[in-house]
Structure 1
């Protein structure tokens, strides 16, 4: 009996050591995740306008919460305010869409490209002050709106990469530890300054970041299928171990568009076991085409699962 117990213990230990070398085997990526940004452009889009396939995990990402004053002119050192279309995307409407669809979660995205007519800068006075303010203000917003997670989409910086990494990493850690959020994602794109900040964050805190909403639509308009796949593999390598999602912009202004082969590229990734999910910027623009690509994206993901 003793030798049998020893054998079992050794087997369990060897299995643990094997799996620890291959993080992807410990947590296989969800291949039916669909995410969509909503509310930044004030085009009167409601959650209920967007088609929701029952066979996907669906995340709406409210855009944006920004640590600027309500006039959008001065940074507030981590004290966040809501800058999305609250008339159409209210706390009651969050509760309603989640109540009607058990597969829907709603998060909020931080930062974004601009506020009012200027850039939205990440501009902390110190790590401790920014984190303290951010935890308090975001906890209040998240609880008011009954939200499930956060997305980090800062694109302009008045702080070095290490400060950004510590601020955002400590924010995510604290919100998760406090049970305020279930998931966190980041939304980098291929720009040297942007990548230097997000890769610093990834190196130090990648283990607590659930998804990488890489903005593949920030690449040149006219991107081909083969170029897209090269970009995807490069960013999967950069964010090693992360769930990098495929993406497009619904106004067709950049990257690989559905018309030029986005779904062909996704089908190829799916066949290779690399399609961790799809996200779209944004529901506001998709309203004009009747959300046709939301339907196509979700059908592809549902068939992959």
Structure 2
């Protein structure tokens, strides 16, 4: 996520109002920032679908001066508190829980994480192999894409990520996928290129509305939602606010008022995302 070194956890409550039977989804990013958050620390409502998203898997070396590895991913989340045994336990205790991993994030060891493929074919091959291994080892259900820095053009990003997500879903390695874009001139073109060509394999758009400026108003927030709903047409767009010093619209400034306004609009899908 943007400013991921400060991330404690990220919560998402999703209600889909266009389906015959409303579905509810709660998601939490967990494992980043050295905060020692474990699964039992989070109360789980048995009446909603619940996704834990491990943050992050990164295709960089673990050296003191990290460098790209062309799609060879390793788990960088808190493996002491979030290991395969604990994942199996939380899923066994709570049938409504699924666990995914987010890839890339903002930085590692103080250095930006760049999308840096040597070639489309080699990156995809390495990514399929390494991510499949992590999914199998940790008994994961999904994958989230959170690249925020790039040494490749949008079309290359779209092909690499699109081919990866397509393979993972077609071969039933994961059951759901998501992306985490935000409004930035270098970020949006990459995700929009991906969405245009491979949007059909992406289940959720975890849009980082808290990456907008501080002081966002209710009307601005609603317009941002409308804009991103248009950009990612047909997608399940998650809205969000942060309590960690990030920007966007805060609860005390009208976040829930904005959500109520949007809920009153026919055929809106409102997805609530909470970052602490």
TM-score normalised by length of structure 1: 0.80
**Matching residue of 1:198:** 191
Task: Name the SS of the counterpart of 2:240 in structure 1.
Answer: strand
Partner of residue 134, structure 1: 127
Q: Cα offset for 1:265?
A: 2.0
Instruction: For residues 196-219 of structure 1, give each alpha carbon's deviation from its aligned partner in whole angstroms, at most 9, with x where no partner exists.
Output: 000000000001100000000000
Equivalent residues in 2 for 1:1-305, closer than 5 Å: 31-71=23-63, 73-272=66-265, 273-281=267-275, 286=276
Q: Provide the C-alpha distance between the structure 2 equivalents of 1:44 and 1:122, rounded to a whole number of angstroms.
A: 27
Residues of 2 paired with 1:53 and 1:261: CA distance?
A: 26
Output the CA distance in 2 between the equivalents of 1:278 and 1:58. 13
Higher helix proportion (structure 1 or 2) = 1
How big is each residue's C-alpha offset from its partner over 1:29-55, in whole Å with a ceiling of 9 and x where there is no partner?
965222121111111101111122222
What is the DSSP-based 3-state SS (H/G/I as helix, E as strand, rest coil) of the residue aligned with 1:192?
coil
> Paired residue for 2:5?
none
Seen in structure 2, the aligned counterparts of structure 1 residues 187 and 137 have a Cα distance that, compared at 3 Å, is same
Aligned residues: 259
Question: How many angstroms does 1:173 deviate by?
Answer: 0.5
C-alpha root-mean-square deviation of aligned residues, in Å?
A: 2.0
Q: Which residue of 2 aligns with 1:300?
A: none
Residues 1:246 and 1:45: Cα distance change in structure 2 (over 3 Å): same
- Of Structure 1 and Structure 2, the greater strand share is in 2
Normalised by the length of structure 2, the TM-score is 0.89
Task: Note closer, same or farther for the CA distance 1:30–1:70 as it changes in structure 2 (3 Å cut).
Answer: farther
Q: What is the CA deviation profile of residues 252-273 of structure 1, one whole-angstrom value per residue up to 9, with x for unaligned ones? A: 4211122222222223333334
Q: Which moved more, 1:254-263 or 1:106-115?
A: 254-263
Structure 2 contact 157–194 (Cα < 8 Å) conserved = yes
Distance in 1 between residues matched to 2:20 and 2:228, nearest whole Å: 18
Unpaired segments of 5 or more residues in structure 2?
1-15
Bigger Cα displacement from structure 2, 185-194 vs 92-101:
92-101
Question: Which of structures 1 and 2 has the bigger CA Rg?
Answer: 1
Question: Cα deviation per residue 1:75-107 (whole Å; 9 max; x = unaligned)?
Answer: 000000111111111111111211121211111
Shift in Å, 1:178: 1.4
